Amino acid sequence: MRNILIAGAISLLLSMVGTPLAIRLFARRGYGQNIREEGPSGHYDKKGTPTMGGTVIVIAALIGYFLAHGVTVFSAVSDPPTASGLLVLFLMTGLGAVGFLDDFIKIYKQRSLGLRSGAKAAGQLVVGAVFAVLVLRFPNAYAVTPADTRVSFLRDIGPSIGLIGFVVWVLFFIVGFSNAVNLTDGLDGLASGATCLVLAAYVLIGNWQLRNSCTTVGFGPNCYWVRDPLDLAVVAAAVLGACLGFLWWNAPPAKIFMGDTGSLALGGVIAGLAFTTRTQLLLVILGGLFALITMSVIIQVGFFKMTRKRVFRMAPLQHHFELSGWAETTIVVRFWLIAALCVAAGLGLFYLEWMPKQ
């Protein structure tokens, strides 16, 4: 529990202090946001706002996590980093690097498009494939690995889908959620605020799984076979603290944008937490806002291809409400409320399933 608090506090402090430094540095170097011509006209005022702020989130989270473990090195109880925690952080950092390259190309070439879609997808797939292979290794003393080749909801369910099926499933999930957070990152503070809520849920889930771990409370019907629940809560807390510190400067009107560096990294870390806590399908509920916004794009594109007509004034969904006359802050706060309701519903299901059956 102490590591959770230390990691969150250090990451929060570093992000709060580091983000304004990044704002000045990026502004001095001309690392400003380019705006799509086909986007809402109100976004033109944001042109030139420093971007790539996701680098602060990633760096602050990594430092917070490792410093939290460093504190325990000198304590009576050794608590080194775990395989599960390091793999989730690898996924976050790897996808953040893909996003950083995308952001840098946008800035260097002064255009709203960075990496070509194929190159960007290839980067996500490579990082995701490495994660998928490694997450099935590193068994602990109980032969529990960070993830299992079964699909999970509130815990692992059903038969194994095999190594190839698992890798495909992991790639689908990682690419899907990293792009979903990227699509949500269209208004000041929207993606960062919604991600904070999901990360807070995973702090609670990891802590609950620790308290009801099969390796500590016995092999009861409701215990959890999760390799490193405490360290996964530490990872979630570290990223949560970094994200909250960034949100202070990213809230409307934003002084800095996270860019693809941040959105891909955050999408990756929540996907990684879903696999390592064995709550893959639950993430669809916890991250319901991301799923809703992604579905709006799929519906818009699919319906337009079939009928040459649009369902929404513009996709993703938040831009539809912008063009309907809603103020940006109104959309952001109301979407945060939707995200909070999704998180509440997901946590409710998680705890309800655990409760002993009468």
Using a pLDDT cut of 70, give the percent of the chain over it: 90
| Residue 36 confidence class, pLDDT cut points 50, 70, 90 | low
Report which of residues 219 and 244 the model is more confident about.
244
Quick one: pLDDT at residue 26? 87
Quick one: pLDDT at residue 99? 95
Quick one: pLDDT at residue 166? 97
Residue 106 has pLDDT above 90, yes or no: no
CA–CA dist 54, 354 (Å, integer) = 36
131-146 residue pLDDT tens: 999 999 999 999 999 9
CA–CA dist 21, 15 (Å, integer) = 10
Name the most confidently modeled range: 105-114, 191-200, 246-255.
191-200
| Residue 353 confidence class, pLDDT cut points 50, 70, 90 | confident
287-299 residue pLDDT tens: 999 999 999 999 9
69-90 residue pLDDT tens: 986 555 545 578 999 999 999 9
- Please state, rounded to an integer, the average pLDDT across all residues of the chain: 91
239-255 residue pLDDT tens: 999 999 999 999 989 99
Mean pLDDT, range 203-218, rounded to an integer: 89
| Residue 115 confidence class, pLDDT cut points 50, 70, 90 | confident
Quick one: pLDDT at residue 218? 67
Report which of residues 44 and 120 the model is more confident about.
120
CB atoms within 10 A of CB 352: 9
Quick one: pLDDT at residue 49? 86
HEC string of the chain equals CHHHHHHHHHHHHHHHHHHHHHHHHHHHHCCECCCCCCCCHHHHHHCCCECCCHHHHHHHHHHHHHHHHHHHHCCCCCCCCCHHHHHHHHHHHHHHHHHHHHHHHHHHHCCCCCCCHHHHHHHHHHHHHHHHHHCCCCCCCCCCCCCCCEEECCCEEEEECHHHHHHHHHHHHHHHHHHHHHHHCCCCCHHHHHHHHHHHHHHHHHHHHHHCEHHHHCCCCCCECCCCHHHHHHHHHHHHHHHHHHHHHHCCCCCCCCHHHHHHHHHHHHHHHHHHCCCCCHHHHHCHHHHHHHHHHHHHHHHHHHHCCCCCCCCCHHHHHHHCCCCHHHHHHHHHHHHHHHHHHHHHHHHHHHCCCC
Mean pLDDT, range 96-111, rounded to an integer: 85
| Residue 265 confidence class, pLDDT cut points 50, 70, 90 | very high
Q: Which residues pair with 50 in a beta bridge?
A: 32
| Residue 112 confidence class, pLDDT cut points 50, 70, 90 | low
In the chain, the amino acid numbered 215 is T
Residue 27 has pLDDT above 90, yes or no: no
Quick one: pLDDT at residue 356? 63
Residue 232 has pLDDT above 70, yes or no: yes
Terminal alpha carbon distance of the chain: 31
Residue 159 has pLDDT above 90, yes or no: yes
| Residue 160 confidence class, pLDDT cut points 50, 70, 90 | very high
The ranges assigned to domains in the chain are: 1-284
Using a pLDDT cut of 90, give the percent of the chain over it: 76
Quick one: pLDDT at residue 243? 98
Mean pLDDT, range 112-128, rounded to an integer: 87
Residue 210 has pLDDT above 60, yes or no: yes
Quick one: pLDDT at residue 204? 97
Strands 156-160 and 150-152: antiparallel
